[in-house]
Amino acid sequence: MADTVVDAIVIGAGPGGYHAAIRLGQLGKNVVCMDRDEVGGVCLNWGCIPTKALLHVGEVSRHIREADKIGLKVAAPEVDREGVAAFTDSVVKANVGGVNTLFKANNVAFAYGEASFVEPKRVALKKRDGSTETYAAKEAVVIATGSAPVDVKAWPRDGETIINSDDAVRLKKIPKSLLVIGGGVIGLEFATVYTRLGAKVLVVEMMPQVLTGTDLEISKTMARILKKQGVEIALGTKVVSLEKTAGGIKAVLNGEFTSNKDESRDFEVALVAVGRRPVTDNLNLAGAGLQTDDKGFIAVDAQRRTPVEGIFAIGDVTGAPLLAHKAMKEGVVAAEVIGGDVSSAYDPIAVPNCVYTDPEVATVGLSEEEAKAAGYELRIGKFPLAASGRARTMNESDGLIKLVGDAKSDLLLGMHIVAPQAESLIGEGVIALEMGATLEDIGLSIHPHPTLTEALMDAAEAAHFKAIHVVNAKPKGGAAAAKAPVAAG
């Protein structure tokens, strides 16, 4: 059978892949996007979207349980697992349907199947019926196959008692007790979900903080809030073993949480959330003349070109950070380069990261620890959410806004938020970093009142000892040190 010839092939229909395919279609390219699963990849079907739907259910459940605090008397919420699943499925289907509509509108063909390279610009697609079709790209192939949860061989996943994040989205029942192995983004998000839905949750993290790599003060703030909500957190602790029992799982823990002694705990379910790995297993990269590094990632340049002419790679297969919005931007860059835009490049100043706990955590730029390690003399502004009038009206006063700046130039280096809607608030930090804003710029900009965004302004003013809504620390060097600095540049 003759090859199906197209201008470009995109392997993977997740956020990066569908962005690349749609942009290629907009540029007039004849493109086929192929995936062994549904359009939307992990993000739309098992990750970003369904988990956020579950988190919303949990957040509403919390608001109902705490309604008496704002003068409302309502019955305690009862979780209808099938109803929650139906809501989550409807959200997923709507998003997947939206991408399919965009594919059609931009003349992007979608093909189900397992793709593998035959030659650098020739791909075989093993379809669901067992047959194989080959495609040839006249111009380029974009690899966008994403990542998958890391499986621990010692703890074989069965999807019911030992699960990964994909399974956690579609559990058949809410466990009475849940062990979460890993205190990173995925672990904390599911700890929040299942605590809200009624499970007793223990998070075990071998490192000395949750959200390793996040600003330490922000990490400690979030851990304190989670503990207040009923989530147990065991830091500096390892899971020595997991053993299936009649009632679920017996886990042996050892570390700071257990006074460095083996301690047995029983759970109905254990969620393994120790990270993700790039998915390149079945691509036959050798057929394309490509190889990966020792962690399985594909090397790319700023235009997302691999070392092989005409082959691009985007998203999680290219390395950290493994974030959907990073993949989306990379997909657009790759498409525009393929379309002939020699200036298009992936060169962000910083990439934001959001953790959809309740409240949320959002960060961009350097943490206090990273900035110190880089040799900066720091100017830091902090604003507790307890001092925010808008937060009080929402009955949401537990959180922190923290800005990290360079004391010499006053340039913003990093923004870190623990607050409701943090995922939206962080956009201001992204723009500020990209535009080279100073703390003074943020403080001088009039923010609407009463809002959560004005807490960013207050934090910037606090950095200069000028905040109105908190008591300012005394500046080193006296009153003269509190004067606004000369803006950088």
In order of their start, the domains of the chain are 4-149+277-338 (3.50.50.60), 162-274 (3.50.50.60), 353-482 (3.30.390.30)
Is the predicted pLDDT of residue 487 greater than 70, yes or no?
no
Asked if the peptide bond before residue 77 counts as cis, ω within 30 degrees of 0, the response is: no
DSSP type of residue 318: G
Contact residues for 5 (Cβ-Cβ < 8 A; gap 6+): 135, 136, 137, 138
Contact 272, 149 (CB under 8 A): yes
One-letter amino acid of 57: V
DSSP type of residue 356: -
Is the predicted pLDDT of residue 485 greater than 70, yes or no?
no
The helix/strand/coil state of 466 is coil
114 vs 123: CA distance, rounded Å: 10
Residue with tokens 């939307």: 40
What value does the mean pLDDT take over residues 149-157?
91
% residues pLDDT > 70 (the chain): 97
Radius of gyration from C-alpha coordinates of the chain: 24
Confidence tier at 477 by pLDDT (50, 70, 90): low
Q: What are phi and psi of 168, to 5 degrees?
A: -65, -25
pLDDT at position 322: 94
pLDDT at position 58: 83
Q: Are strands 237-245 and 248-255 parallel, antiparallel or unpaired?
A: antiparallel
What value does the mean pLDDT take over residues 459-483?
81
The residue from 19, 56, 449, 464 that is catalytic is: 449
Which helix (DSSP H) or strand (DSSP E) does residue 22 occupy?
Answer: helix 15-26
pLDDT at position 489: 39
More confident residue, 14 or 475: 14
36 vs 166: CA distance, rounded Å: 16
What value does the mean pLDDT take over residues 415-423?
96
Contact 3, 135 (CB under 8 A): yes
Contact residues for 271 (Cβ-Cβ < 8 A; gap 6+): 163, 164, 165, 168, 178, 179, 180, 181, 187, 190
Is the predicted pLDDT of residue 470 greater than 50, yes or no?
yes
Confidence tier at 39 by pLDDT (50, 70, 90): confident
CA nearest to 418, candidates 382, 469, 461: 382
CA quadruple 326, 332, 335, 339: dihedral positive or negative?
negative
Q: How many residues does the chain have?
A: 489
Which tokens in the block code for residue 59?
A: 């957040």
Taking all residues of the chain, what is their mean pLDDT, rounded to a whole number? 93
**CA 245 vs CA 89, 133, 204, 267: distances in Å:** 31, 46, 20, 9
Confidence tier at 56 by pLDDT (50, 70, 90): confident
469 catalytic per annotation: no
Which tokens in the block code for residue 231?
A: 């989530």
Q: Can you give 49-99 as a three-state secondary structure string?
A: HHHHHHHHHHHHHHHHHCHHHHCCCCCCCCCCHHHHHHHHHHHHHHHHHHH
Which helix (DSSP H) or strand (DSSP E) does residue 440 occupy?
Answer: helix 439-444
pLDDT at position 164: 93
- pLDDT tens-digit readout, 362-398: 999 999 999 999 999 999 999 999 999 999 999 999 9
Contact residues for 72 (Cβ-Cβ < 8 A; gap 6+): none
Is the predicted pLDDT of residue 36 greater than 50, yes or no?
yes
% residues pLDDT > 90 (the chain): 80
pTM of the model: 0.91
What value does the mean pLDDT take over residues 329-337?
98
pLDDT at position 53: 85
Confidence tier at 475 by pLDDT (50, 70, 90): confident
pLDDT at position 479: 55
Confidence tier at 482 by pLDDT (50, 70, 90): low
Number of CB atoms found within 10 A of residue 354's CB: 21
Contact 216, 202 (CB under 8 A): no
pLDDT at position 98: 92
Confidence tier at 478 by pLDDT (50, 70, 90): low
CA nearest to 400, candidates 276, 243, 216: 216
Which tokens in the block code for residue 452?
A: 């959560």
Q: What angle do CA 92, 93, 99 make, to 5 degrees?
A: 95
- pLDDT tens-digit readout, 1-19: 689 999 999 999 999 999 9
Asked if the peptide bond before residue 321 counts as cis, ω within 30 degrees of 0, the response is: yes
**CA 284 vs CA 117, 119, 127, 168, 418: distances in Å:** 5, 9, 16, 30, 43
- pLDDT tens-digit readout, 237-263: 999 999 999 989 999 999 999 999 999
pLDDT at position 408: 97
